[in-house]
């Protein structure tokens, strides 16, 4: 039915002088930084999306890029992705919730300072009430970045596109570009 996702990190002294705060280097702020990952996840679950609402304010940091991105995207069926990326979260966090008619999937944490990676499945019971809940935790090292890079390099080497990296990346960047143009 809909997705709610949040991705945030805390700042540190001098954050406003780092590369992420320079539009010339980073291309933008939280929208292109952590927001791009949230948009990509929304595409993966909901398919093609359009922008219903976007706000990219700078609330705290004295920099020329946004420190927050608030987005509402929807697909042709009306399913909504409500996304928030922030560098004013103050405590690193990641949360992705996929709401379905008869349950919910929740992913939290990214390891390290983002907390233990956890997947929770909430299955609605016929009588409703508290759902049946299953949890899976993934402690230890996360090798997903390494695996993704290997797949990407194999696609280049073999002139294939099994993971649809280029198409999905272009769709994400098109959404981001449209938001920045409307700023």
pLDDT for position 163: 59
- CATH number for the domain spanning 89: value is 3.30.360.10
Q: Answer whether 86's CB lies under 8 Å from 55's CB.
A: no
Q: Got the DSSP string for 123-155?
A: E--TT-SSPEEEEEEE-S---HHHHHHHHHHHH
* pTM of the shown model: 0.90
Could you tell me which residues come within 8 angstroms of residue 80 by beta carbon, excluding any fewer than 6 positions away?
Answer: 2, 3, 52, 72, 73, 74
**What are the mean pLDDT values of the chain's consecutive 10-residue runs (183 residues total)?**
95 91 92 96 96 97 96 98 96 96 96 92 95 94 84 85 74 96 84
Q: Answer whether 117's CB lies under 8 Å from 111's CB.
A: yes
Cα-atom radius of gyration of the chain, to the nearest Å? 18
pLDDT for position 159: 85
By residue range, what is the domain housing residue 17? Answer: 2-181
pLDDT for position 143: 84
Residue 42 — φ and ψ, nearest 5°?
A: -65, -40
User: Please, which residues bridge with residue 40 across strands?
Assistant: none
Total domains, the chain = 1
What letter does residue 162 receive in the DSSP assignment?
A: T
Which residue shows structure tokens 């009306």?
78
8 closest CA partner among 115, 99, 103: 115
pLDDT for position 169: 87
């Amino acid at each position: 039915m809909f997705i709610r996702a949040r991705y945030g990190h805390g700042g540190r002294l001098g954050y406003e002088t780092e590369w992420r705060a320079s539009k010339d280097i980073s291309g933008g702020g939280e929208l292109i930084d952590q927001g791009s990952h949230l948009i990509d996840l929304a595409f993966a679950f909901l398919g093609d999306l359009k922008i219903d609402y976007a706000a990219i304010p700078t609330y705290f940091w004295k920099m020329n890029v946004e420190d927050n991105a608030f987005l509402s995207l929807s697909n042709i069926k009306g399913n909504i992705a409500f996304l928030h990326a922030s560098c004013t979260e103050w405590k690193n966090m990641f949360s992705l919730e996929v709401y379905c008619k008869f349950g919910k999937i929740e992913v939290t944490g990214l390891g390290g300072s983002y907390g233990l990676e956890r997947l929770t499945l909430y299955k609605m019971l016929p009588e409703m009430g508290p759902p049946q809940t299953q949890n899976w935790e993934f402690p230890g090292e996360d090798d997903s970045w390494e695996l993704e890079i290997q797949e990407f390099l194999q696609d280049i080497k073999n002139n294939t596109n099994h993971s649809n990296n280029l198409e999905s990346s272009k769709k994400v960047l098109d959404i981001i570009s449209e938001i920045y143009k409307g700023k």
